[in-house]
Amino acid sequence: MSATSPSQSIIDLHRPGSASDVFAGGALMAPVLPSFARQRTAIGLPEVGEVDVVRHFTRLSQESHGVDNGPYPLGSCTMKYNPKRNDALAHLPGFENAHPMQDSDTLRGLWELYERLQEMVSEITGMDACCLAPAAGAHGELAGLLVIRKHFSHIGSRRSVVLVPDSAHGTNPASAAMAGFECRIVPSDIKGRVDMVSLREMLTPDVAAFMLTNPSTLGLFEDQIVDIADAVHANGSLLYYDGANLNALMGIVRPGDMGFDVVHVNVHKTFSTPHGGGGPGAGPVAVKAALADYLPGPVVTRKNGIAQPDSDRLLSVGRMKSFHGHVGVLLRAYGYLRTMGAQGLREASENAVLNANYLQHRLAPMLPPVYRQVCKHETLLSGERLNTSARQFAKRLIDYGIHPPTLVGAGCVYFPGDLKSAMLIEPTETETKASLDRQVEIFQRVFNEDATDEALVDRAPLSRKIARLDIKT
Ligand SMILES: *Cc1c(COP(=O)(O)O)cnc(C)c1O
């Protein structure tokens, strides 16, 4: 870039006439673009020096918020610390330079690693078999539901309904619909748990599965889970576990032991990987032995002592992702699990739960918890004492360097009952007590502003280049 002065840009060199002069006969120009396909006039790209380009992109990167610049308590998303060593692992040349089309036999190290990761995911979730291919949590849901559909069609049972609780993440009913099921909504009881009376009534012979996450998206542990599993199984239906909230119970309790038959794990939430803005993810799907044959491919298995991808399984629902899935995300998950170890995972979950309860307790005078009980890794806080709203409160937090928590209630995320204005806060295990205390101070400051200068909070955020994409909201 520095060798080319602005008046002598690359674009000029490619103009008809000049190109042949400069590169005449040289290997650089072969094969030459036919003249009709060449650009005839300069296209007017800005001519800027390297330093300016670097500053431009650095400035842009500083305008977005990530866990590397401040707290990111976005409930249900688990925006946690992403160890840089995992990035280093994913960039090892042997992995990074592997080509998707290269002979599978030349990727033995990758298959070895995949096999171990499949085992670790199965172990942590209490399942027997696992496929790493799905590209995200929602994709894992689709994979798991297709497994369930295939299972019932294989045994000649017609079941066309999937139940989801009213606190479910929106992807659950969407995946059920995509997998060809009719979706019915199970109401919550006043404690925020699945309403057992309704569930029992809704468990009709056409129900294929009940999709649940535990702890729920309200941050509450479903303490009736064993009864739920019994009721679902007594009906001949299967129990699906949405693993997005696994950060609350790694190494403490396993979905398989609670009675779940199929799980997906959002490895980009629970096992590191930065994933803001809909970025890359992976949603391995794992099942109990009775469903293993239906898993999508490839599943890495050992043949003649060598780990290799096996896509040749008769009852499989088929391939759901090209090539080897999102390799970089899976490598980071592997690095995370190996460096944390069994004890480390348990401690991470314990600290995630401790941090959420600490925040719940300290914030209660300003933002009382909707469900007054011990929470798991996240807590739902009510905006009922605010003059403005939870939404405005969250927008003002942006001005103090905290990412807004997940907004719940009118016009935001779909949530049960008549919740007007609330926010779901998930501090994660990786914020220190000092950081949590600073956050409480900021919440207190915004709470005071809400009491004394409503108009200010109503205009927030005031520090961003783009404040409101839609002026109506
Ligand atoms: C994030 C999330 C999903 C969807 O996962 P993606 O990886 O974003 O596709 C599903 N369920 C719950 C509870 C979630 O929090």
- The domain spans of the chain are 1-42, 86-340, 343-459
Q: What whole-number distance in Å separates Cα of residue 186 and Cα of residue 204? A: 13
Q: 216 C-alpha to center of ligand 1: Å?
A: 12
Render pLDDT for 221-233 as a digit per residue (tens, 0 to 9). Answer: 999 999 999 999 9
Side chain identity at 465, as an amino acid letter? Answer: K
The answer to whether 368 and 39 are in contact (CB under 8 A) is no
Q: Which residues pair with 130 in a beta bridge?
A: 286
| Shortest-distance atom of ligand 1 to CA 245 | 13
User: Which amino acid, 318?
Assistant: G
Ligand 1 binding pocket (C-beta < 6 A) is: 76-77, 136-138, 169, 171, 213, 217, 242, 244, 266, 281, 283
If you measure from the C-alpha of residue 171 to the centroid of ligand 1, how many angstroms do you get, rounded to a whole number? Answer: 7
**Closest to 78 (Cα-Cα) out of 440, 422, 431:** 431
Q: Is the pLDDT of residue 11 over 50?
A: no
Least Cα distance to 439 among 345, 385, 362 occurs for: 362
Per-residue pLDDT band for 40 (boundaries 50, 70, 90) equals: confident
Torsion of CA 360, 364, 370, 376, to 10 degrees: 10
Q: By alpha-carbon position, which residue is closest to atom 5 of ligand 1? A: 137
Please state, as a whole number, how many other Cβ atoms lie within 10 Å of the Cβ of residue 51.
10
pLDDT value of residue 12: 43
| Ligand 1 atom nearest to 283, measured from its CA | 7
State the pLDDT at residue 245. 96
Band (pLDDT 50/70/90 cuts) for residue 42 is confident
The pLDDT value given to residue 296: 97
User: 277 vs 450, which has greater pLDDT?
Assistant: 450
Q: Whose CA is nearest to atom 3 of ligand 1?
A: 137
| Single-letter residue type at 432 | T
Using CA positions, which residue lies closest to atom 1 of ligand 1? Answer: 77
CB 216 within 8 A of CB 245: yes
Q: Which atom of ligand 1 is nearest to the CA of 141?
A: 10
DSSP state of 423: E
Q: pLDDT class for 460, splitting at 50, 70, 90?
A: very high
Q: What is the DSSP string of 68-106?
A: TTS---BTTT------HHHHHHHT-HHHHT--TTS-GGG
Alpha carbon nearest to ligand 1 atom 14, residue: 244
Nearest CA to ligand 1 atom 15: 76
415 C-beta neighbours (distance < 10 Å), count = 22
Class of domain 86-340: alpha beta
Q: What's the confidence (pLDDT) of residue 410?
A: 54
pLDDT higher than 50, residue 21: no
φ/ψ of residue 408, rounded to 5: -130, 145
Q: What is the pLDDT of residue 417?
A: 53
Is the pLDDT score of 238 beyond 80?
yes
If one residue of 74, 171, 326 were mutated to test the ligand 1 pocket, choosing by the most ligand atoms within 8 A of its CB, it would be 171
With a cut of 90, say whether residue 349 has pLDDT above it: yes
Instruction: Quote the distance between the C-alpha of residue 136 and its chain's center.
Output: 7
pLDDT, tens digit, for every residue of 75-99?
Answer: 989 999 889 999 999 999 999 999 9
**In this predicted structure, what is the pLDDT of residue 98?**
92
Cα of 324 vs centre of ligand 1, distance in Å, is 21
C-alpha torsion sign, points 65, 66, 68, 70? positive
Q: Is 183 helix (H, G, I), strand (E, B) or coil?
A: strand
Atom of ligand 1 nearest to the CA of 242: 11
* Those residues with Cβ within 8 angstroms of residue 99's Cβ, 6 or more apart along the chain or in another chain: none
- Has residue 14 got a pLDDT over 90? no
Predicted local confidence at residue 311, as pLDDT = 74
Partnered with residue 167 across adjacent β-strands are none
- Are β-strands 421-425 and 379-382 bridged in parallel, bridged antiparallel, or unpaired? antiparallel
- What's the token pair of residue 128? 């027997």
Residue 412, pLDDT above cutoff 60: no
321 CA distance to ligand 1 middle (Å):
18
Is the pLDDT reported for residue 3 higher than 70? no
Tell me the longest C-alpha to C-alpha distance in the chain. Answer: 83
Among the atoms of ligand 1, which is closest to the Cα of residue 278? 8
Question: What's the CATH fold of domain 343-459?
Answer: Aspartate Aminotransferase, domain 1 (3.90.1150)
Q: Whose CA is nearest to atom 2 of ligand 1?
A: 244
Which residue among 266, 376, 426 has the greatest number of ligand 1 atoms within 8 angstroms of its CB, and so is best to mutate?
Answer: 266
Contact 361, 261 (CB under 8 A): no
Mean pLDDT of the chain: 90
The answer to whether 340 and 348 are in contact (CB under 8 A) is: yes
For residue 144, the CA-to-ligand 1 centroid distance in Å is: 14
% of the chain at pLDDT higher than 70: 90
When pLDDT is averaged across residues 295-306 and rounded to a whole number, the result is 95
pTM for the predicted model, two decimal places: 0.88
Q: How confident is the model at residue 471 (pLDDT cuts 50, 70, 90)?
A: low
d(CA 25, CA 409): 68
Question: By the 8 A CB rule, do 473 and 407 touch?
Answer: no
- Cα gap 216→194, rounded to integer Å: 9
Centroid of ligand 1 to alpha carbon of 217 (angstroms): 10
